[in-house]
Structure 1
Amino acid sequence: MARCLSSAALALALSACATAGPDYHPPENAVSTAPSAQGAFASAKGAAFSQEPLPDRWWKLYEDPALDALVEQALAANTDLRVAEANLDRARAVLNEAAAARTLSTSISGGVDVSRQSSTGRALPGVVTDNLGLALSYPLDLRGKLRRAIEASSADAEATEAARDAVRVSVAAATTSAYAKVCAANYQLAVTQRVVQLQRQTLDATRRLQKGGRGTAFDVSRAAAAVESSAAALPAFTAARQNSLYLLATLLGRPPADFPTEVAGCATLPRLAGAMPVEDGAALIRRRADIRAAERTIAADTARIGVATADLYPSVSIGGSLGFSGPLHEFGSGDSFNMSLGPLLSWTFPNRPAVRARIDQADAQVRADLASFDGTVLEALRQAETAMETYARDREREAALGRAANAAGLSAQQAGKLFRFGRSDFLDLLSAQASLASAQVSHASAQTALVDDQIAVFLALGGGWQQ
């Protein structure tokens, strides 16, 4: 009886101990808390941007039903997302396993023994005994080792979920980009075809003038060279369109040959209905999935400090057993029944320097996680600022190229009139048309780049992972 009271007193004393290791708190002095990190973006100035909240499904800002359908299909069938979902399921299963360590465990044992003394000289079988028992055990987790392990697994699962969300962001952006490239290739193809058509008209006119004695073979050959030079770009645009369609098929989880034919003819570049909503740095820090994953990793590794610290203390569980043991002919009788109940103390005197070393390792890992978290925030802010600065400057470039294309078009018209009335030579006409071709192709390329820039901004802002 005194032994039972001593065990109970020991268990009660241990229960008063605090949970091993530090409790997790979000980083207080991290880069993410700096006012300059949470404020407005330095590059988000001018009419191109607004501080409105970024929609969860930012691609709907293009108001293109075909694009909306493609992104939704990709988010449902993309193979990278399937891998990410499986990784999340695995992380949740690990969490369930950690939680199960705090539940009641049972074991059943049984057997029959035959023995006889060698000196008796008696024949077998000798004495037959039975042993049948049921044992129950429940861990008290007085120092919180199991609780910390569950905390770590829970934070790991949340970090894995954030990694899955980051894949969703990438898939949405990649799908939008691939669709935009299909439209851009068709758009650039159409622009170049118009240039080629204009140059063919000049070639035909030059041939007529040669026949009438107003032109030369040299004029004809130069006009033909201009046509072929512009036409040489057409196959590249066709290839770019087809390759983007193949990429779309892959993003949708299909073989390349099964590309979405319904968007193959898209020839209008996606355009935003208004200014680009970017909010501020605080919203980006809350939204970016990689930042959330980095923060959850800190929480997981903080809990692991407690797991390592708990090894300095004994483990206690409440257990009991009941069963029958004795000669086989007494099986089931009261004399063979036995039962026990009480706390079970397990303390394998640890190699304390080794345990302290593991604690130091876990603490160092948390410090590394904090530095990695700061680096992730800084990189996210840099990506956003860089993408917005690029977009803002490319808008200016596109506007200038648009004005240049308009001026080149007017110049080509004027050169054509002057040539037809004999007030200008053929070289001036060809030069004006070459300038027009270059300006229109450059403007089309700049318009395409703007769409890529917009998608880069949305990707940097981290939108699109919400279910």
Structure 2
Amino acid sequence: MKTVKVLLPLSLLLLSGCVVGPDYKAPDAALPAKFSQRGRAEAVNVTLNPWWEAFRDKKLDSLVAQGMGENLDVQQSLERIVEARANVIVAGAGGLPQINAGGSGTVEGQDGSFRRNSGSGDHSETKTLSGGADASWLIDLFGQYRRAKESATASLDAAYDDVNVARLAYLSDLTTSYIEARYNQEAYALQQQSLSSRRETLKLTEDIKAAGAASSLDVVQAEGLVNSTLAELPGYQTGFNQAANHIATLLGLPATSVTASLTKGSAQPSPRYNTKIGVPADLVRNRPDIRRAERQLAAATASIGVAEAQLYPSLTLSGSIDASRIVASAASGGLTSWSFGPSLNLPIFNGGRLKANVDIAKSSAQQQYLAWKQAVLNGIEEVEDALVALRNDYETVAALRKVVDSYEEALGLARESYKGGATSLLDVLDAERSLATSRVALAAGIRNLANNYVSLNVALGGGSAIEPPNGKGNEGKTAAGY
């Protein structure tokens, strides 16, 4: 008997150290040593790189800082951290002792009167006080709750990474919206220049017609070009206002809140220096969406152990104690009862439900692995695409600048020839049309260059770990130290 008393606690202790299910190992993917568009391979950490400062635009910098802690998507992701923290507590609570207590009290009485020769009355009262407590402890024989807490902790890590995903999306959306607003302002200003030039041509044509050297057709053609320019201007105003309204929404403000501050025109944003690219392996560390997918894989892997633990017996130690005291008019007394003992639950037949839960958990983990692998491959593709586009954009912008210079010279020559009667009005109108088109094309090229610069930095995960200046950040490190 003594041997049983000694071996039973030891066996419970040994069983409680058993954890079923696979132990998590971080996934690995075969990645190229370097990106195809860069010859030099050097590992870098870009998560703290404020890449938008390369535009050297103080207004853009202030907008980024203003909305870093106010963006509603970022705030929602911060709230999901609070939820994930609570889930860690809930997941671990099942493996801890549970104690509940309660009590009650009642008073019963009886009053009455009756007549005898002298007359008298009766009164009786009974007080009952009772209380009790019960405790239970599910011995985590096969690590069900330890795996559940492991899964919840990995989900908490994923919630922290989700904040950086939302922050990176905010940076991308804000900067591209700002680039769009400045492009529409620039295009509007360029079309105003073209309008002024075309009105000048119209005035020149009317003067030549008055001198008898031009026809009414020439005047009508010049007027048509003026009116076509007027028709294009409202579209750029619409584009500017829509971009400004979206910036306000990203800052957590009502639409039109920042329109006035952006009305004063500024040069189109264009990056003044290059970005450090690093190597493809850096994406696994720097991109928050890849880190989040890896943490979700860890959570799904731990869930396999939770499902497998339910295939095995569970042991619960439980006990209770109840006490009551009765105080009556004539006498009083108390009663105490208690109980304690283990209970064993054996899953014998459940129609295959528990085994199916294990298969579901394994499939979910495999899906999460494929999602992680897809995120890695998508990241490499996005970087490669942005590198190619950015390189070509620099060449396009350089060529368009030369095109604009050529058409400006061509317009001057056509106008002088038209004044001297050596050419027709059609040559002037064609030169004006070509110049206006090339100017807007240059503005669009600069916009594309800036957008692809943003795309490259976002694809690298740049700036995702920068917290807002007001301190509304991730509220500490993640559960895994990320």
Give runs of aligned pairs for residues 170-319 of structure 1, distance below 5 A: 170-317=169-316
TM-score, normalised via structure 2 length = 0.83
Query: How many correspondences in the alignment?
Result: 443
What residue in structure 2 maps to residue 117 of structure 1? none
Deviation, structure 1 residue 358 = 1.8
* Distance in 2 between residues matched to 1:42 and 1:207, nearest whole Å: 59
Q: Could you say which residue in structure 2 is the equivalent of 1:465?
A: 464
Q: CA deviation at 1:437?
A: 1.7
Alignment of 1:402 onto 2:401: yes
Give the aligned partner of residue 134 of structure 2: 135
- 1:370 maps to amino acid: Y
Tell me the SS of whatever aligns to 1:276.
coil
In 2: Cα distance, 1:444 partner to 1:261 partner: 22
Structure 2 distance, partners of 1:160, 1:366, is 18
User: TM-score, normalised to structure 1's length?
Assistant: 0.86
Find the aligned partners of 1:338 and 1:455 in 2 and give their Cα distance.
Answer: 73
Whether 1:147 aligns to 2:146 is yes
Q: Specify every segment of 5 or more residues in structure 2 that has no aligned partner in the other structure, as ranges.
A: 108-123, 468-482
Question: Is 1:351 the equivalent of 2:349?
Answer: yes
Partner in structure 2 of residue 438 of structure 1:
437
Counterpart among 43, 51, 57 of residue 37 in structure 2:
43
CA distance in 2, matches of 1:427, 1:384: 47
State the alpha-carbon separation in 2 of the partners of residues 68 and 161 from structure 1: 25
> Aligned partners of 2:393 and 2:55: how far apart in 1?
19
Amino acid at match of 2:27: P
Q: 1:74 aligns with which of 59, 62, 67?
A: 67
Matched to 1:384, the amino acid is: V
Aligned partners of 1:447 and 1:138: how far apart in 2? 67
User: Match of 2:53, as an amino acid?
Assistant: K
Letter in 2 for 1:363: K
Distance 1:308 1:178 in 2: 47
Quick one: distance in 2 between partners of 1:258 and 1:182?
14
Aligned to 2:94: 101
1:62 aligns with 2:61: no
Residues 68-120 of structure 1 deviation map (CA, whole Å, 9 limit, x = unaligned): 22112222222222222222221221112223333332122456899xxxxxx
Q: What SS does the aligned partner of 1:76 have?
A: coil
Partners of 1:331 and 1:349 lie apart in 2 by: 48
Listed one character per residue, the Cα deviations across residues 280-305 of structure 1 (whole Å, up to 9, x for unaligned) are 21122211111111111111111111
Aligned to 1:19: 19
Shift in Å, 1:161: 2.3
Give the structure with the larger helix fraction: 1
**RMSD of aligned C-alpha atoms?**
3.0
From the superposition, tell whether residues 419 and 327 of structure 1 become closer, same or farther in structure 2 (CA, over 3 Å): closer
1:343-371 alpha-carbon deviations (Å, 9 max, x no partner): x3432434374322222221222122212
Aligned to 1:10: 8
**Greater mean alpha carbon deviation, residues 133-142 or residues 356-365:** 133-142
Does the CA-based 8 Å contact 1:128-1:327 persist in structure 2?
yes
Q: By how many angstroms is 1:406 displaced?
A: 1.2
Against the structure 1 CA distance between its residues 256 and 230, is the aligned structure 2 distance closer, same or farther, given a 3 Å change threshold?
same
Deviation at 1:318, TM superposition (A): 5.2
- Taking the aligned partners of 2:14 and 2:461, their CA distance within structure 1 comes to 46
CA contact (8 A) 1:245 1:264 kept: no
CA 403–303 in structure 1, closer or farther in 2 if over 3 Å, else same = same
Cα separation, 1, equivalents of 2:63 and 2:289: 25
- Distance in 2 (CA, whole Å) between partners of 1:446 and 1:20 is 59
Q: Structure 2 counterpart of 1:272, which letter?
A: P
Please state how far the C-alpha of 1:159 moved relative to its aligned partner. Answer: 1.6
User: How far off is 1:175 after superposition?
Assistant: 0.9
The answer for the alignment partner of 2:452 in structure 1 is 453
**Unpaired runs of at least 5, structure 1:** 115-124
Distance in 1 separating the partners of 2:312 and 2:332:
41
